[in-house]
Amino acid sequence: MKVLYLYSGIRKDKFRGAIGIDYPDTQFYGLNHLSKFGIDAEYKEPRKLPGFRLRHFLMYFASRKYDIVFGPSIFYMMLWRKIFPAKAKFVLLNINLTRTLAANKGNFRLRIIRWLLKEIDAVVCLTNVQKEYLERYMPFLKGKLYFAPFGVDINYHKPVYGGRKKYILSAGRDNGRDYKTVIETARLMPNEEFHIVASRRNLIGIKEIPNNVRIFFDLSPKEVYGKYREAGILLLITHDDAFQDGSDCSGQTVLVEAMASGLPIIVSRKRYLRDYISDGKEALFVDFYKPVKIAEKIKFFNNTNIGLKLAKSARERAERDFSTEKMAEKLSKIFKSLCILC
């Protein structure tokens, strides 16, 4: 079986060196492990045209020679498939489909999305929340929906349990992050040091940054991984589930990377978390937009030994359920089920 991966972002120029050694394989969605399960997988990155949507749209004809085409942006190819059928099975990785559908309820664009979705052979959801949403609002997808947990490179991200610094880390560039609440929490705790790793757009409209907050814009992945290894607490604060911007599961990558790194976690109570962690077992949950309550959770961390307990439990959970090899194994079963006659 031959599988083609199509990523939304560039991989070849962004990651240099040996996969799993010089950089983690997390952002490859299990591709490098698929050979262990009898699947020949590769990825292609057309770069002559601007915009990944246009690039993927025009790759349809080259992709038809594969048995499976997999990725988060293949949706745009389905217009061609309406005209030129292909034997290849097209499998959509659901990164933000739920949010896209919710944001377009009742307008013409939703009708176009539904029309194109009918050409997709399968949708891989990273949480059961996404799967349940699609079953409810896109019933024609029933039988085509699968859940595969997001995988993290557990070998690259080594756990660190001692010698950490005391600063509180908030990281991520997804638009679903709520840095206003993080900064309001920091304002309530002037004796604590906060580090925010984000893009400039994440802090638009936020003024009067307290002196105990340090901002780091657009750090390299390696610099972010270094902060996972040295921070005292991860404060993963997002907007609520009704917020219609960013990815479906805002914070998911940072969450599993922190789990693998042995970094204690305080996280907003998103619905998707039920597939990854439990409150009081692998992390502490906090309600949305409640800086006073978040400050109380931080004080609880500081006054007890619960941080180490949660961090070890989270690392064990990542090893058991969320490695990139586990993701590849799950995907291999999905691909094979779709391609019995390939």
Q: Within 10 A of 71 (CB to CB), how many other CB atoms are there?
A: 23
Rg of the chain on CA atoms, in Å: 21
pLDDT at 104 (0 to 100): 84
pLDDT at 274 (0 to 100): 97
Find all residues with CB under 8 Å of 124, minimum gap 6, and list them.
Answer: 70, 91, 92, 93, 94, 146, 147, 148, 331, 334
In tens digits, the chain (342 residues) has pLDDT values of: 999 998 887 677 677 788 888 889 999 999 999 999 999 999 887 666 555 566 677 778 888 789 999 998 888 888 888 888 888 999 999 998 988 888 888 788 888 889 989 999 999 999 999 999 999 999 999 999 999 999 999 999 999 998 999 999 999 999 999 999 999 999 999 999 999 999 999 999 998 999 999 999 989 889 999 999 999 999 999 999 999 888 899 999 999 999 999 999 999 999 999 999 999 999 999 999 999 999 999 999 998 889 999 999 999 999 999 999 999 999 999 999 998 755
Return d(Cα 316, Cα 297) in angstroms, integer. Answer: 23
Domains of the chain, first to last: 2-151+323-338 (3.40.50.2000), 168-321 (3.40.50.2000)
Whether 214 and 182 have beta carbons less than 8 Å apart is answered as no
Task: Give strand pairing partners of 200.
Answer: none
pLDDT at 246 (0 to 100): 86
The backbone region for 46, taken as left when phi is positive above 0, alpha when psi lies in -120 to 50, beta otherwise, is beta
pLDDT at 16 (0 to 100): 75
Return d(Cα 185, Cα 208) in angstroms, integer. Answer: 13
